[in-house]
Structure 1
């Protein structure tokens, strides 16, 4: 049984921080369409960093010492995060 919890994070185009966080993809899409916003909608796991999540899932394994440093970890992102690009409220995938 899968007990993992996720949130959906919307970051507007050229925004430095997220614009909205949702408990479901459906709620996120409704908001995106309603406001006709542009940006990225991404699915993030709760209570675990993306760095640790990718290691746990077997998607990434640090191979060098620099890949275990705070600077590396704080900037870490993954192509394994489910995401969709929206332009004027319409999915561009």
Structure 2
């Protein structure tokens, strides 16, 4: 499955960058002293469907099948890194 790395800056409403390689993303974040979260996303499938398909999320109620739930869905099972002033340590 193809994947990309998406960076969401602290207090940002939308992603500020998308990378094919983790190393390029980390370098850009470090060089610019950025704070935020870098997350790996699958391409061609929603995070909701990916999480269900891979057993990371089990639908427990009908509410969890509604658009209002799906459109806000994120998964802690996605590989991700937190950065503060360009550092993830």
TM-score bracket, shorter-length normalisation: over 0.9
2:59 maps to what in 1?
62
Q: Secondary structure at the match of 1:90?
A: coil
1:51 aligns with 2:52: no
Instruction: Select 1:33's aligned residue among 8, 27, 30.
Output: 30
Which segments of structure 1 move beyond 6 Å, counting only runs of 4 or more? none
Separation in 1, partners of 2:61, 2:70: 13
* Structure 1 runs not aligned, ≥5 long: none
1:88 maps to what in 2?
85
The TM-score with structure 1 as length reference comes to: 0.92
Separation in 2, partners of 1:53, 1:61: 11
1:23 aligns with 2:8: no
2:4 maps to what in 1?
7
Separation in 2, partners of 1:43, 1:19: 14
Give how far 1:62 is off: 1.0
Q: CA RMSD in A?
A: 0.8
* Structure 2 runs not aligned, ≥5 long: none
